[in-house]
Amino acid sequence: MNTVKKSVSQLKREAIIEAAKKMFKEQGVASTSMDKLAEVAQVSKRTVYNHFATKEALVMYLLGEFWLEAISFNQGVYDPDQDLLIQLREIILTEIGVINSVEHIDMARLIIGHLFYSCEQMSQEIEKMKQHETATLRWIKAAQADGRITVKDVQHANQQMMHLIKGQAFWPQIMACDPLLTEDEKRHLAHETAKMFLSRYQ
């Protein structure tokens, strides 16, 4: 019933947003003209400008949208009684699930494509992203506090882990448009990463 009730205006707006997501992702913001956008959304150009004052406003709206979709806090808790490999593997797998999701990759591509030459803003966005790589960090700290792993620089160790993950589950998708990982690939990556990490720090 909620789906039927949408006003025309609401529908148009959604069409615009969908079209923008699609075009911006595929061709980038700069090479997507507002005319083309309106055409894809099957909406008059004027309507686009009725909903979003400028192109930049549309882009900014999308950035906000994507953040909401992409950022799911994952809570992985350290368990002193369970095998380290098993629980780390699980935590990593969840992290991969976030990083390697359509939403996250789409958002990252939008941001990178749009801000590639604006180092300042890009750095900020990257900071934002990094603040969500916190589940693994907490786990490392907990395991460290429990004395089951020995890490000198906790931040650095966490970064190493993230690099191992992103090298396979993020950068190839961002740069070469590689397909998302299959569940098997995710599990394998989680396993290998956990093993490497523990080999070093356990």
Partner DNA sequence: CAAAGTAAACTATATGGTGTAGTTTATTGT
Partner DNA sequence: ACAATAAACTACACCATATAGTTTACTTTG
Judged by CB, which is closer to a second copy: 101, or 159? 159
Q: Minimum Å distance from CB 119 to DNA?
A: 20
Q: Of 22, 104, 25, 15, nearest to 52 (Cα)?
A: 15
**3-state class (DSSP) for residue 106:** helix
Which of 17, 21, 22, 45 contacts DNA by CB under 7 A?
Answer: 45
Q: Are 99 and 132 in contact (CB under 8 A)?
A: no
- Which of DNA, a second copy, none binds 126 (CB below 5-8 Å, type-dependent)? a second copy
How far apart, in whole angstroms, are the C-alpha atoms of residue 155 and residue 137? 7
Binding mask 129-158 for a second copy (x = CB under 8 A): ---------------------------x--
By CB under 8 A, name the one of 6, 10, 11, 27 that touches a second copy.
Answer: 27
32 binds DNA (CB under 7 A): yes
Q: Which of 10, 31, 74, 75 binds a second copy (CB under 8 A)?
A: 31
Q: DSSP for 159-187?
A: HHHHHHHHHHHTHHHHHS-PPPPPHHHHH
Q: Are 28 and 114 in contact (CB under 8 A)?
A: yes
What is the rounded CA–CA span in Å between residue 82 and residue 28?
A: 46
- Residues contributing to the site for a second copy (CB under 8 A): 26-28, 30-31, 112-113, 116-117, 119, 122-123, 126, 156, 159-160, 162-164, 166-168, 171, 175-177, 192, 195-196, 199-200
